Amino acid sequence: MAANEEDSALVKLELACSDLRTLLLSSAKLEKDLEEMEKKFDSIDEKLSTAAKRVAPLQSLAMAAKALETRINRAVSPALGLLHSFKLSESFQKKLIELSDKLSIEKNPRKRLKNLLKYVQCVDQLNEVINLISRDGEPVIQKLQEVVEFLSRTKATDQYRTQRLKETLITLKALYESEVDAMRFDGLLDEALLNLQDEFEIMLQQMKHQNIGEQQADEEADQTLVSDLGTEMEVQVLRRIAETLSASDCLDICIDIFVKVRYRRAAKALMRLNPDYLRTYTPEEIDEMQWQSLETSISLWIQHFELAVKTVFVSEKKLCKQVLGGLPEVLIWLECFVKIADKIMAVFFRFGEGVARSNREPQKLFKLLEMFDSLEKLKLEFTEIFEGESGADICIRFRELEKLLVHASSKVFWEFGLQIEGTSDFFAPPQDGSVPKLARYAVNYLKYLTTETYSAPMAKVFRTEQMWKAGILSKPETDESLLKDAISNIMEALQRNIESKSPSYKDKILPHIFVMNTYWYIYMRSRNTELGKLIGEQYMKQKYKSAAEESAYMYQWRAWRPLVRLLEKEDSEEQDNGTKATAVVRGKLEAFFNSFDEISQRHARGYSIPDADLREQLREATVKLVVPVYSEFLNAHSKLLSGESYVSPESLKGLVGQVFNGTDRTSNGKPKRRDSKDTVPGRNSVSVEGELKNFRRSRSKSIDA
């Protein structure tokens, strides 16, 4: 068993030795192979080194050739591009000629606009190419010349190629020097730009303001229509032309054309309104105008000013922005618009300033307020239209005109009050005690002023003046309070005028008739109106109605009370015998009717009570005063007057009514027939003189008997 194990170990050892021998043999072979490879590598390295030494000059030549190629390409490629640009300019010029021919024969407006747009695009392309040639020509020629000089100096190529390159340089340089300026200033581009200027002007002239004359009749500002002056296609073409002219150093020409043409168009549109009144604008010339003519002129000025701002200038501003808004100078379109509007607005401003500086006549107040109110309503829109620094001067003049109107309106109002107070020394009251023209004018003036149309502007004038005087930080009164105080001052001036004139009558009754008529007129014309509401209905009653009633009482006391006293009973009448008593009674009746006749004549020839309602009240009061006393007198002496013919109380009532209902005074002092509206219905029409004559005739017959 042990022997077997030894044999097995021995076999394994032999095998291991055999493997080791094999490995040693392989290692020796590998070492030999490595030595051979090293020898081969040394041989290859030696060969490569030899080859590198041989190739080195060729490598230097290749690098030099590459550098020369790069240098030549840097000069030749731009030169080829320049030549290509010359070819493009030639093709664009041919295209311009074709489009120009089409434009000259095309009659359809829309097709013509499309061709014109193509024409503008072609001009832009030609201009761009010429600018490219002008910009790149000199650097390209300079580079090409440097290459030619380098080749000539280094002889890097053959003489033939160098000579051809020199000839190309000379030709290109001559072409550049001779053609570029001609293309820019004397060629088809210049002609095309002139054509575009003409087209620009023609198209602007064709854009008209429509229906300006018809809009004059439209009094409501909200109905004023703002229409586009051109179609979308027309605006697009104009915009492209403006941009092309601007890019071609023709911006000034473009702006001059635009401003000149559009100013004429705007002015011509407004001239269709026939504003001949604008030729009269100095204060002296305006003072010489007839009032009716001036009133009409101011009304037209208000309408035309609003129409110009809301319609004409809005359209013009829109067109300016559409056409010139895309130019590099961002705000140039605003400046152009202001130039268009400036001269036209100056004409409107100078007329308004002339009116504000003219004489301050009372009737001008309402037109001044209308002008001021129209400017106030336009203020916001006006500042929006004339925005920015370019429109500052026009806005300043607008505000100055407003200031002038505020001052003028205030002066006219306060001077009117002074005129009322000052006329007391120069004008006598009406001879018949009727309402003076000044009172009629003043009341109707103030009634008109307190209407909705004028009260708000007038109050704003007062408030503005108060703010100017007291400062912005002051607390102004309400509009109603300011207006009430101002008008109350005028009413008080009128009252002082009336009170100062009433004592100038020599007749003792006329002052009461005068005051009664005037205060009654003021009260009746003011009640239930805006004037009465502003001052206060209760105040009007206390101030004017009460004064009129007091004067009516004094009139009755002075005029009719003496008549009644003639019939009052005396103690001596009871002591007289029958014959003597009858004579006394008849004498009283005679004196009564003589006095009645005198009073009637005074009323017919010297007294005037124009208000029908006031006459009716006076008639009723007088009938109540006279007729009962007369009736009582007849009843008391009926026995003494038995068989006598006398005026009955009913007839006397009719006679009294006739005094108040028959005639009135005309301006020349002669009696005139009452109009039907002044006649009291159902009144006895018997004449005073006829009744009194009948009474005297019957009395004389009884005496004769």
Quickly list DSSP for 134-164. Answer: HHHHHHHHHHHHHHHHHHHHH--S-HHHHHH
**Per-residue pLDDT band at 191 (split at 50, 70, 90):** confident
Percent of the chain with pLDDT over 70: 70
Residue 699 has pLDDT above 50, yes or no: no
**Per-residue pLDDT band at 685 (split at 50, 70, 90):** very low
List 664's β-bridge partners, or say none.
672
In whole angstroms, give the CA distance from residue 609 to residue 516. 9
Listed residue (700, 589, 701) closest to 652, CA to CA: 589
Return all residues near 617 (Cβ < 8 A) that are at least 6 apart.
552
Percent of the chain with pLDDT over 90: 36
CA distances to 38, 64, 472, 564 from 595, rounded to whole Å, are 175, 149, 69, 10
Q: Under DSSP, is residue 559 helix (H, G, I), strand (E, B) or coil?
A: helix
In whole angstroms, give the CA distance from residue 305 to residue 290. 22
Higher pLDDT, 165 or 1: 165
Return all residues near 426 (Cβ < 8 A) that are at least 6 apart.
none
pTM, to two decimals: 0.74
pLDDT in tens, 355-398: 999 998 999 999 999 999 999 999 999 999 998 888 999 999 99
How many angstroms from the chain centroid is the CA of residue 23? 118
**Residue 126, pLDDT score:** 82
CB 514 within 8 A of CB 611: no
Residue appearing with tokens 């020199």: 166
List 673's β-bridge partners, or say none.
663
CB 595 within 8 A of CB 656: no
Q: Under DSSP, is residue 3 helix (H, G, I), strand (E, B) or coil?
A: helix
| H helix and E strand count, the chain | 26, 2
Residue 685 phi/psi, 5° resolution?
Answer: -95, 10
**Residue 20, pLDDT score:** 54
**Tokens encoding 397:** 């003049």
Most confident of 55-64, 93-102, 131-140, 346-355: 346-355
**Residue 219, pLDDT score:** 44
Listed residue (307, 315, 316) closest to 258, CA to CA: 316
Listed residue (622, 489, 504) closest to 555, CA to CA: 622
Residue 687 phi/psi, 5° resolution?
Answer: -80, 150
Q: What is the DSSP letter of 677?
A: G
Q: List the single range of 298-312, 464-478, 561-575, 656-670 with lowest mean pLDDT.
A: 656-670
**Residue 315, pLDDT score:** 92
Return all residues near 246 (Cβ < 8 A) that are at least 6 apart.
254, 327, 328
Residue type, 588: K
**Residue 218, pLDDT score:** 47
> Within 10 Å of residue 185's Cβ, how many Cβ atoms?
9
List 671's β-bridge partners, or say none.
665
Q: List the single range of 88-92, 311-315, 380-384, 600-604 with lowest mean pLDDT.
A: 88-92
Residue 594 has pLDDT above 50, yes or no: yes
What is the pLDDT averaged over residues 602-628? Answer: 89
Q: What is the DSSP letter of 586?
A: H
In whole angstroms, give the CA distance from residue 371 to residue 353. 11
In whole angstroms, give the CA distance from residue 474 to residue 464. 12
CB 655 within 8 A of CB 596: yes
The H or E element that residue 493 is part of is helix 479-501
In whole angstroms, give the CA distance from residue 285 to residue 288. 5
Q: In angstroms, what is the C-alpha Rg of the chain? A: 57
What is the pLDDT averaged over residues 670-682? Answer: 33
Q: What is the DSSP letter of 681?
A: T
Residue 61 has pLDDT above 60, yes or no: no
Question: Rounded mean pLDDT of the chain?
Answer: 79
What is the pLDDT averaged over residues 590-597? Answer: 89
**Residue 663, pLDDT score:** 44
Q: Under DSSP, is residue 436 helix (H, G, I), strand (E, B) or coil?
A: coil
Q: List the single range of 113-117, 326-330, 534-538 with lowest mean pLDDT.
A: 326-330
In whole angstroms, give the CA distance from residue 461 to residue 467. 10
**Residue 26, pLDDT score:** 64
Q: Under DSSP, is residue 552 helix (H, G, I), strand (E, B) or coil?
A: helix
- Buried residues in 61-88 as b, exposed as e (16+ CB within 10 A): eeeeeeebeebbeebbebbeebbebbeb
**Residue 57, pLDDT score:** 56
pLDDT in tens, 235-267: 999 999 999 998 888 899 999 999 999 999 999
Residue 423 has pLDDT above 90, yes or no: no
> Within 10 Å of residue 208's Cβ, how many Cβ atoms?
11
Residue 684 has pLDDT above 50, yes or no: no
pLDDT in tens, 293-320: 999 999 999 999 999 999 999 999 999 9
